[in-house]
Chain A
Amino acid sequence: MDAIILQILNGLDKGSAYALIALGLTLIFGTLGVVNFAHGALFMIGAFCAVTLQRILNISFETIDPTRTDFLGNPMKVKTTYVETWFGPEVGASIIDWAVPLAILFSIPIMIGIGFIMERGLIKHFYKRPHADQILVTFGLAIVLQEVIKFFYGANPIPTGAPDVFKGSFDFGMLLGFEANAIIYPYWRLVYFAFAAVIIGAVFSFLQFTTFGMVVRAGMADRETVGLLGINIDKRFTIMFGIAAAVAGLAGVMYAPINSPNYHMGMDFLVLSFVVVVVGGMGSLPGAVLAGFLLGILESFASMNEIKSIIPGIDQIIIYLVAIIILLTRPRGLMGRKGVMED
C-alpha cells in the first residue's frame, strides 16, 4: 500500500509537467489549429529563465579581506554579490536563495513576449498551410531555439537549487499512519504539484469566467462563426498564444530544481507531451490535464521493481504503448471532441 501511494506521488510531479505542457499545446491547437513542435522549447526557455535569474542575482564583485588569508598566505579575495550589498547580507542571501520562485515573475513577461513574437512573426503565416508544414516549421524553430540556448549556456545540465526551506523531504508515511520513512517525498515536488494545480485552475477559470475566455472557447468550437460576429478573434488568439507560452515557461521555471536544465529537455518533454495531448484527445483541455497526470502516474508505476520484473523494460515504453493502444481503439483520445483532426 505504501509503495502504491509513493508511486502515485512520484507520478504527480512529472504528470504536472506533462499536464502543463500539454495544456499549452492543446490551447494552441484548439484555438489556432496549429500543431506546435516548438512548445517543448518554450518549456526549456522557462527553465533557463530560472538559471538566468539565479546567475544575475549571483553577479558579484571582489574585495580583499585583509583579516583573512588564503592557503598561500596571501590576503583573501572575497566575493560579494551586489544583491547582498544593496539589501544587506541577510535579505540578499534569501533573495538569491529564492531565485527560482522569483523567476516566475521574471519569466512571465519574457515568455509572453516570446509567445507574441512567435505567433505574429511565424505561426500566423501557417494557419492556412497543411499540418505537415506547421509541424516542419515549428520543428525547425525548436532546433533553432535549442541551439541558441546551447550556445549561451553550454551543453551540460546546470544544477539550479530550490530555496533551502524546500530542501529535504516530507514524511507522508507518518501522516497516514505508516512507518517512518516509508513514504518520503521531497518538499519541492509538493510545491511543484501545488503550483501546477494553481496554474491549471487559473487557466480554466480564466476561460470559464471571463468574456475573453468565452470568446476563445467559442472560437475553439467554431472559428468562422465567431469571426462573422465581428469579434477580432485573431488578436485574442495572439494573446492566447502568449498565455500558452507563459504556461509552458512557468512549468519550466519551477521544474528547474527537479531536473537540472539542459538544452535538450524541451525536445525530451515535447515528444511525451504530444503523446499526452493525443491520449487526452486533440483539442480537449480537461483531456490534456487528465492524460498528463494519468501518464505521469502510470510511468512511475511501471518503474516499480515488482512490475519491471514481470515485464522487463515496461517503464521505458509504457507511455508510448498506452498512446498506441488509445490511438487505435479510441482515436479521439480520452475526452476529445468528435471530428477534430479525424479523416
Chain B
Amino acid sequence: MLGLNKKDLSLLLIVAFLALCAPFILNPFPSDSSLAQFNAGYPDLMQRFVIFGIFAIGFNILFGLTGYLSFGHAAFLGVGSYSAVWMFKLLSMNVVPAIVLSVIVAGLFSVVIGFVSLRRSGIYFSILTLAFAQMSFNLAYSVLTPITNGETGLQLTLDDPRILGASRTESGGIPVTNFFGLDMRDTYEMVVGPWAFQFNNGYYLCAILMLISFYLAIRIFRSPFGMMLRAIKSNNTRMTYTGLNARPYTLAAFVISGMYAGLAGGLLASMDPLAGAERMQWTASGEVVLMTILGGAGTLIGPVLGAGFIKYFENIFSKINDGVLHTWFGFMPDGLEDLVVTLVHPFVGKGWHLTLGLVFMLVVIFLPGGLVEGGQRIGRLFRRKKSGDEAKKSTQSTPAE
C-alpha cells in the first residue's frame, strides 16, 4: 500500500497513530495530580514536537543519507518563518499560501547556498554552511531590518494591508491564522473525569503535514535516489567512477532538506505569527543536528524521536524548580534532601542545556546510532537472553533423555 513494503507501512501507521492520538497519549496524568507537570498534551508543545520533527526529518535526508553535516539549516527555517509572516501581512490569514511560499522561498535559498557549499565536502562544507547561516543571521539583524524588523522580530500589526482579508477584526484586534476558516488556535477540550484532553486545530494541521513529510521521507529512503545518496556517503570515489555525478544528487538532497526546514519555519509562523532572527542563529542549527543524532541519523524514525525527546525535556526540565525538587525528595531526611536538591539543581530548570549537552556527548561517545540503536541493543539483549534460556533448557533436558 502507498508504495511501501510491510515494515515501512507499519512504521508509518504507528507514527500516524501516535501523532493523531497524541492529545491522549501525552496526557496520561490527571490534571490534579502532582505528576501533571509531566504532561505534554497541550497544543503549544505538541505543535513543537511535530514541527521540529519535520525539521529533523528533512535534515536527516541530507545528513543521514549523504553524510554532509550542515551547520546552517536554521537559516532555511528562519527564511520560511519570515516568508510566512509576510504572507499573513500582505495576502491573507489563510495558512496555505503562507506555507507554500515559505517552502518555495526556502527551496530557492537552499539552491543558492547548496550550489556554492557543495563544491566542498567534509569539514569545509560544514564551515561554508555555517558561514552562510551566520551571514543571514547578521544581515537579518542589521541591514535587512525593513524586511525582518531586526531585533524585535517580524510581527503582525493592526495596519497590515492584507489584500484578501481585513487588516483588523471587527473588535479591532489582529486577526488569527486559519485554514480556510478553521482558526489555528481553536482548541476543543474534552474533559474526562480529572483529565482534560486538548484537541487543537493547529496541531492537527502540523501533524498531518508531518505525516506527509514522513511518508515522503520513507519513499526517498527506499528509492533509487536514496540509494544513490547512501552510496555517496559510503564511497564517493566509486560513485564517480561508476559514471554518476554526485553533485546534483547532493544538491537535490540539500534542497529537499532545505524545503523541509522552510515548511517547519512556515508552520512555526502559522501557529504563532511572528518571526525573529534568533531562529537562524547557528545554535538553532546545532539543535537540529542534536535532534537527528540523538534519535539516530540515517534511520527513518530517529529524527522524529530525537525532536520529540529534546522538545519534551526542554519543556519539562526547564519547568522543574527547587520547589518541585523539594516535594519530590521530601521523603528523605532533611540534610540529605537538601544535598540531593543541590546536586540535581544545576541540571534542571535553567540548567536544562547542561543536561542536553551531557546527554548528547554520551550519545555520541557510546551510542553513535542514537536512541534507535539503543532500542535495538536492548531488543537484542532480550532476544539473546531468551535464546540463552532456551539453550539452557535444551542442555538441561539432554541428560534426562
Contacts and interface: CB of A to CB of B under 8 A. Distances in A.
Given A136-B293, A271-B282, A147 B354 contact: yes
A245 B79 CA distance: 37
Given A140-B361, A143-B360, A147-B357, A313 B143 contact: yes
Contact of A132 (B67, B120, B139, B144): B67
B122 interface: yes
A242 interface: no
Nearest to A274: B127
A271 B357 CA distance: 18
Interface stretch (B130-138, B171-179, B190-198, B265-273): B130-138
Contact of B286 (A125, A133, A139, A323): A139
Interface residues of A, number: 38
A105 interface: no
B127 A143 contact: no
A186 to B, nearest CB: 25
A141 to B, nearest CB: 6
Interface in B327-365: 346, 350-351, 353-354, 356-358, 360-361, 364-365
B123 interface: yes
Nearest to B143: A313
A321 interface: yes
Contacts, number: 106
A149 to B, nearest CB: 10
A3 interface: no
A302 B352 CA distance: 38
Contacts of B361: 122, 137, 140-141, 144
A35 interface: yes
A278 interface: yes
Contacts of B123: 35, 131, 135, 282, 341
A267 interface: yes
Contacts of A341: 122-124
B126 interface: yes
Given A143-B360, A316-B139, A327-B120, A275 B127 contact: yes
Nearest to B63: A132
Nearest to A35: B123
A321 B135 contact: yes
B236 interface: yes
Interface residues of B, number: 42
Contacts of B153: none
A78 interface: no
A286 B67 CA distance: 31
B249 interface: no
Interface in A132-180: 132-133, 135-137, 139-144, 147-148, 150-151
Contact of A328 (B67, B119, B293, B354): B119
Contacts of B356: 143
B69 interface: yes
A90 interface: no
Contacts of B283: 267
B50 interface: no
B357 A320 contact: no
A275 B134 CA distance: 11
A317 B67 CA distance: 27
B84 interface: no
A89 interface: no
Interface string B377-393: 00000000000000000
Nearest to B358: A144
B286 A316 contact: no
B296 to A, nearest CB: 13
Contacts of B126: 132, 135
A339 to B, nearest CB: 13
A313 B286 contact: no
A256 to B, nearest CB: 23
B34 interface: no
Interface in A212-271: 267, 271
Contacts of B216: none
Nearest to B67: A132
A70 interface: no
B368 interface: yes
Interface in A285-343: 312-313, 316-317, 320-321, 323-324, 327-328, 331, 341, 343
Nearest to A282: B123
A223 B331 CA distance: 58
Nearest to A267: B283
A136 B364 contact: yes
Given A312-B143, A313-B143, A331 B120 contact: yes
Interface in B83-97: none
B368 to A, nearest CB: 7
A316 B119 CA distance: 24
30 contacts: A131-B122, A133-B364, A135-B69, A135-B123, A135-B126, A139-B289, A140-B360, A140-B361, A141-B357, A141-B361, A147-B351, A147-B353, A267-B283, A271-B130, A275-B131, A278-B124, A312-B142, A313-B138, A313-B142, A313-B144, A316-B143, A320-B131, A320-B138, A321-B135, A323-B128, A324-B116, A327-B128, A328-B116, A331-B120, A341-B124
A-B pairs, top 4 by smallest CB distance, nearest first, are A313-B143, A143-B357, A316-B138, A147-B354
Interface of B: 67, 69, 116, 119-124, 126-128, 130-132, 134-135, 138-139, 141-144, 236, 282-283, 286, 289, 293, 346, 350-351, 353-354, 356-358, 360-361, 364-365, 368
